[in-house]
Each structure stands twice: as C-alpha cells, then as structure tokens.
Structure 1
Amino acid sequence: MKELDNLVKINKLKQEPVDAKEFAGMVQAGDIKLKDCQINGLSDDSQFSLAYGAAHAFSLAALRWHGYRSDSRYLVFQCLQHTVNLSMAEWRVLDKCHNMRNLAEYEGHLDVNPQLLRELISITQTLQRLVKALPPVV
C-alpha cells in the first residue's frame, strides 16, 4: 500500500510479516472487550475504556494483517482508511476518543459524553465486522 509504505519511509510504521496467531489474539481481545463494554450496569467510564480497547485491538489487527506495525495508537486509527476502508469521519471519532483516553490516562480527567460513547461502540462494531471480513492470514 503506497500510503502505508510512505509512513514506513518516514519511520512512522514498520513492516513486519503478519503472524496468524498474533492476529487471532488481537481479534479475540477486541471481541471480548466489545462484548464486555455492553454489560448492563457498567459505568460510562468503564464502557468507554473497554470500547476504546476493543477499537484499538481491531485497528491494530487490521494494520498487522497488512504487514505493518506501529508504536503509536493514534496512527493505528488514522491508518484505518487504508487498512479496512473506514471513513474519515469514523476514524476521526476514534481519534477524538484517543485524545479523551490520554486525558484520562495522564491527567485523570474523563468526562464521557453518552452520544460519543454510543458512536464509539457503533464504530467498534463496524471495525469488528470489517476486520473479520479480511481473508484468512496465510
């Protein structure tokens, strides 16, 4: 992929052969977190953290399926337009959630907007479908 290869050239991504076991583990982690984020009675904060974790797991799985790796969470989301053809509007929601996650993680501030949480869960469900629709890793 030209766009991803360009990121390799500027040391933002690394090329690395896909590993079927690693890919399956990432998808399984995403599945579990996505299922758990929908448990009745969880706080919005817990739902957000689980849904964000699921979105990241699926996004990283998509990147790894294509033979790339990134150490940067935000870049994994930005690459979704190339790895699974996710719309710019959708990956920008994930980018916004990434910024919220950083505020919570590093500054102790998390104020979850219920509408944003619903969008995050919906986009994560879309990601799950898109990643699971990728051909098997050979």
Structure 2
Amino acid sequence: MRAVVTRVSHASVTIAGRVNGQIGRGFLVLLGIGPNDTLETAVKLAEKICNLRVFEDENGKMNQNLEQAEGSLLVVSQFTLYADTSSRRPGFSGAARPELAIPLYEAFMARCRERGFPVEHGEFGADMQVESLNDGPVTILFDTEQP
C-alpha cells in the first residue's frame, strides 16, 4: 500500500457537484493499493497513520498524534500512486484490481474507525475533486513495501 498523508486544517471531496466527505483538522489520506496487499497490510498502515506524531504540542514541536490533536481522516482512493512513469504516458497496471482494492480500502477505513476516529471518504473509482488546506505544510509518504 502507498499513502500520501497530509496534515490539514480542513479537507473535502466532491463527487458530481456534491460534497461526499469533509473534515476539519486531521489527515487527508490518498490511499493506493497494490496487488500484493493484504488485510494485514491495511491494518498495519492504518495503525501507523493513526499513531503518526506530526501535530504540534504546547511547545510547538511535532509530538502529538491524531488522537491528541482530536483530528479526523478523509480517505480518498488513489490508484495513480501505483503509476509506472517510465514513459510520458503513465501506466496503472501496477495498482490492485477493484475486487482486491475495494475490500482493503474499506478495511483501512474500518480500522481507523475502530480506533475511534471520525473517517470521511471519497468513492472508489469515482471522478472526485479534492480540496484541502495543508497545515504546515506537512506531507508524509508511506509505502508498505519499503522498510
């Protein structure tokens, strides 16, 4: 799995002119799923992101996690994170097929909810417009295939 996690002041996703999900302070998570990903991968990545300490404490240090910051998550599926950019026109055959990706996308969000976090989301495979106000900016890349 690959995720681009941005600390935001607010974020939203709109589909066909209708806001599908929106959050205040928290994380915008662009989530890509690869063909070798499993339920274990989804749970492990959800835990890493929920425990990520990038919110400022009373001393201005990035030392607080999502729970301490009373944050939410907006999760948007993003198969383009698996783009093959070896040519000018990217290929996307490295992304998981929907029959694997959709259940893992749902499992990722379910684990975040189980941890007690409000989770908003886009719609898998939809044409979406994502808006966010980056806070910091702080943006972190996760790739479960990298140590």
TM-score by length of 2: 0.27
Q: Which has the higher contact order (CA 8 A, sep 6+)?
A: 2
Q: Name the structure with the higher strand share.
A: 2
Q: Name the structure with the higher helix share.
A: 1
